[in-house]
Chains A and B, each alone.
Chain A
Amino acid sequence: MAKRIADKELTDRNWDQEDEGEEAGTFSIASEDVLKNRAIKKAKRRNPGAEGDGGAAFRGFKGFSAAPSAIPAPFSGFGKAGSFEGFGLTNGGSKALYTGVSSATVGLTFNGPYVPPTADITTRQTNGSSPSPTQSNKEYRRQLTALNCSVRDWITKHVNDNPLCDLNPIFRDYERHLSSIEQQHGGGEAADGGSETPPPSAALFSFSRTTSEDLAQKVSGTAPVASGITFNFGQKTSLFGAPGPAALPPFGGTKPDEAADENGDEESEEPPKPEVKEVKEDDAFYSKKCKLFYKKEAEFKEKGVGTLHLKNTSDGKIQMIIRADTNLGNILLNIIVQHSMPCSRVGKNNVMVVCVPNPPVHDKNPSGPVPLLIRVKTDEDADELHKLLEERKG
């Protein structure tokens, strides 16, 4: 038990004195000698190219090889300008990763023909500009469609699993979401909906008995048109979903005991499981979870984990899309598979292709071809993917 007694005695003689304000101050940096011997690690970013909401303080922070003057407060205590020169902190990847930080917009800007609907919704919300009535209506229809399809699918699934389940919570959730959509987009309303601090994927609604929102949803693709919109129903077993928009009060003071208990699911007897779904793009004929690497200089660098989809295009080619398995759902790769594209089976469970990557992976040479390594779970999966690509690339 870690009880801490009072730091100073309080008496009728000193109680009314204001404490000398203790300052928070800033921590001190180790000396260069010490730093030389330290192994400094880089944290893996799950969203390369995406900027965090709170990243404002570190905007323009180009990594530790920058001159200290470029480093914003509170790191102004970093010391003399010379101390970080030649600090070989670049693992090669750091600079590339940090360029994402300085991009101006939160969210996803893509060049190229394909503009995923999530980006649409995102930029609309973060721009804070009022959508025009036509756009709004379109959005309203899209959202409503997505909502109805989601509820249809959810009910189907759960009633199939357990015909005795109580659907009332679902209808309550439906009501809530419907009014939310109507507020945001219904009747051509100009107001830009959304919460004060919308995460870029605010288009994803989540339903929860506990009102805890789980924004880390994979794109379910049940909505026919807007693949970026997902509605989830029922008790969320997610305890660590994204926090609510405001600190006060969270969820009307809901007690966590009313939240997902370990086994407290009314709808089903199963213990809570995290979301496990294969992502379905509606018109993809092949989807598989994978990890994407790209070659830079002598080594392969990770681009991200996501789901690879193969789709038919109108002109008979196939399109390969790899979408990240994050709440942002950003695109890791989006290319048309050309006939000439080299495609080989590598190692136990990899397929390697060479193409001009979209989105680009190199600042310096965005239009040059790059070897990409696609790693899947098993060797059979790799065989299958390789075969498909070879057969269908034309």
Chain B
Amino acid sequence: METSTDYDELGTRLHQFKNKGRNATEQTRRRKEFHVKLRKAKKDDQILERRHVQTLQEEPTSSPQVSGLLPQQYPLQEILAGVNSENREDQFLATQAVRKILSRDNQPPIDRIISAGLIQKFVSFLGLFECPPIQFEAAWVLTNIASGNPAQMNAVVVGGGIPGFIRLASSSYLKIREQAIWALGSIAGDGPDCRDLVIKHGGHGFVVALVESPDLSTFPLAFIRNITWTLSNLCRHTDRPPPLEAVKRMLPALVRLLHHNDKEVLSGACWAVSYLTSGSNERIEVVVQTGLVPRLVQLLSCGEHSILAPALRSLGNIVTGTNEQTQCVLNAGALAVFPALLCHRKSNIQKEAAWAVSNITSGKATQIQEVIDAGLIPLLVQILQQADYKTQLEAVWAVINLTKVGTLNQVSYLYRCNVLGPLFNLLTVKDDTIILIILEAISNILQMAESVGEGEKVCLMIEKLGDLEKIEALQFHSNESVYKYSNTIIDRFFSGQNEDEFGIPEANPDHCVFHAPDNQSTFQF
């Protein structure tokens, strides 16, 4: 194991420092003591090595070897003395002691450590490349502190923790680089300010270099997962997205991770993509340019919900972009997966899929055609009949967008898929906007039908479905616009004025005037 090599080496180096300016007896005593403690420390760490790096904070406090390092043995004064001494060994021991204290599960005395002014010291220890054990312990301590409440994290940041960690990129010890990555991910994940500070100091470069390193495949899986997590935190917080230049720098690394085969890595990478695509069209463009869309589409079918959710959200974000960006998603064959998504057992997935379709049907008629060709319209109608309400809303949007953008053939196809009945059934909902949208969709269909002289058929169908009452009832709606719209629809399509060449019925037909249509040669139906 790497650790034993590390520690043996470390032990040797510590020796070298220790011997400067000490008498022989003293040296012997200290050496013995040090080795005893080093052996104990090494054993403890071997126990910890087996765990995932993210559990570094936890520690068995019941182990007898550890008990000697609890506060009773090392009160704050001693720690301070050790940290402030010139002696590397003392510094190491003191730092390690703090690390173990802070690794306790119950109420680690973080604030005491901070108020003792120790952060600055530990940050400086991060730079001790000649003494990696100290670097490692210091990094661990600072990570623990930064994992506390915002004020505690802030103390680390203010104390220069970020550049300190970033410098650890050049450590030749994997464990140290891993610790640093973890700390930086934790800090960046705190919020856009911390994230941008990490970026400003070049933290993203550190991460990218790791991903792009030829040794990536030799890294322990836990490390790769950590890297992915940190990268995704550098992309997070979409309300204030990271600087575009940093995004461009991180994308190739993301793409590489997207082709990994570990579920957690894939999930983390997809989350990162979902954050990056949730922005302006310019940002979407930068993502699409990398050519990762086909891989995202591939991942839609991977069967892992933790990957499906962010991959679908990413694609859904991309189709909120330009028609060209939307086309990229279609060209990658996304729609072929949508029948399964629109019938997915998880209503969130159905909803996200329907939302994506609604944005595709708001694009171009050719894109609507692709939706139709993929057999999605009947599935939308099914959703309108029966689904989670939020999913139904998305389907309503998909329908109305189609009636606005679609060709005559496409709208009539929609009609022939029995969309009217379920649409009408939704006319009772509380949300005024949805009612208005549905009315608009119905009106669009009627107008289209009228334009080819088939308005009567659609009106008849509506009557047959028993839905005229629903439109009439909307005139009683509390919302004035709903009243006006439903009133207008009745007036326009259901009062016989436009379609009846016999004219408006008069109370006294003796005095009626025949309103002849322009073309009397054929009956218009």
Which residues on A are within 8 Å of B, measured CB to CB? 1-6, 9-12, 15-16, 18-19, 21-31, 34-35, 38-47, 50-58, 61, 64, 74-75, 78, 199, 212, 214, 216, 238-244, 246-251, 253, 255-257, 259-262, 272-276, 289-291, 293, 298-302, 305, 325-327, 346-350, 352, 373, 375, 377
Contacts and interface: CB of A to CB of B under 8 A. Distances in A.
Nearest to A326: B460
A19 B483 contact: no
Contacts of A50: 464
Interface stretch (B18-26, B54-62, B211-219, B486-494): B486-494
B430 A26 contact: yes
B373 interface: yes
B344 to A, nearest CB: 14
Contact of B507 (A249, A255, A260, A298): A298
Contact of B359 (A4, A238, A255, A299): A4
Contacts of A253: 373, 375
A247 B418 contact: yes
B415 A240 contact: yes
Contacts of B511: 347
B466 A34 contact: no
Interface string B362-394: 110000010011010111011001001110100
Contacts, number: 290
A44 B373 CA distance: 37
A375 B509 contact: yes
Nearest to A254: B413
B361 to A, nearest CB: 10
Interface in B391-408: 392, 397, 401, 404, 407-408
Please name the 7 residue pairs, one residue from A and one from B, whose CB atoms are nearest each other, closest first: A25-B430, A55-B466, A52-B466, A239-B412, A43-B494, A256-B413, A54-B466
A347 B495 contact: no
Given A10-B313, A247-B382, A326-B460, A27 B428 contact: yes
Given A10-B274, A28-B478, A293-B509, A45 B389 contact: no
Nearest to B415: A240
Given A43-B495, A240-B458, A274-B452, A2 B404 contact: yes
A6 B310 contact: no
A18 B348 contact: yes
Contacts of B190: none
A348 B514 contact: yes
Contacts of B377: 250
21 contacts: A1-B323, A4-B358, A11-B275, A15-B306, A22-B389, A24-B426, A24-B428, A24-B430, A27-B482, A40-B472, A40-B476, A47-B463, A53-B464, A212-B416, A216-B457, A240-B458, A253-B373, A256-B372, A302-B505, A347-B509, A348-B512
Q: Identify which of A24, A43, A272 gathers the most chain B CB atoms within 10 Å of its CB.
A: A43
Contact of A259 (B362, B412, B453, B454): B412
B107 interface: no
B362 A1 contact: yes
A15 B351 CA distance: 13
Interface stretch (B71-79, B157-165, B516-524): B516-524
B203 interface: no
A223 B524 CA distance: 25
Contacts of A259: 409, 412-413
B502 A291 contact: yes
Contact of B476 (A10, A29, A247): A29
A133 B214 CA distance: 83
A24 B471 CA distance: 18
Contact of A244 (B388, B416, B496): B416
Contact of B457 (A28, A240, A348, A349): A240
B421 interface: yes
Given A27-B430, A238-B457, A38 B509 contact: no
Contacts of A5: 278, 317, 320
A27 B435 contact: yes
A300 B477 contact: no
B463 A21 contact: no
Given A212-B416, A239-B449, A274-B453, 8 more contacts: A27-B432, A46-B460, A56-B466, A78-B476, A239-B408, A244-B418, A305-B500, A349-B514
Contacts of B495: 41, 43-44
B461 interface: yes
Interface of B is mostly: helix
A5 B318 CA distance: 10
A28 B430 contact: yes
Interface of A is mostly: loop
Nearest to A84: B476
B95 interface: no
Contacts of B454: 238-240, 274
A21 B415 CA distance: 29
Contact of A255 (B369, B453, B502, B524): B369
Contact of B502 (A30, A34, A242, A375): A375
Contacts of A34: 478
Contacts of B512: 347-348, 350
Nearest to B431: A25
A22 B507 CA distance: 50
B478 A29 contact: yes
A133 B187 CA distance: 83
A259 to B, nearest CB: 6
B355 A4 contact: yes
A6 B317 contact: yes
Given A22-B390, A54-B465, A299 B460 contact: no
Given A25-B430, A274-B524, A4 B397 contact: yes
Contacts of B435: 27
A117 B394 CA distance: 46
Q: Identify which of B381, B452, B460 gathers the most chain A CB atoms within 10 Å of its CB.
A: B460
Contacts of B490: 41-43
Contact of B381 (A39, A43, A56, A247): A247
A255 B373 contact: yes
A272 B502 contact: no
B510 interface: yes
B320 A3 contact: yes
Given A45-B463, A300-B505, A346 B510 contact: yes
B154 interface: no
B494 A11 contact: no
B348 A216 contact: no
Contact of B412 (A6, A247, A256, A373): A256
A319 to B, nearest CB: 23
A290 B363 CA distance: 45
Contacts of A9: 238-239, 278
A250 B378 CA distance: 7
B446 to A, nearest CB: 9
Contacts of B420: 243
Q: Identify which of B431, B452, B474 gathers the most chain A CB atoms within 10 Å of its CB.
A: B452
A29 to B, nearest CB: 5
A305 B505 CA distance: 12
B378 A46 contact: no
Contact of A289 (B319, B359, B523): B523
B449 A12 contact: no
Nearest to A58: B469
B475 interface: yes
A146 B48 CA distance: 88
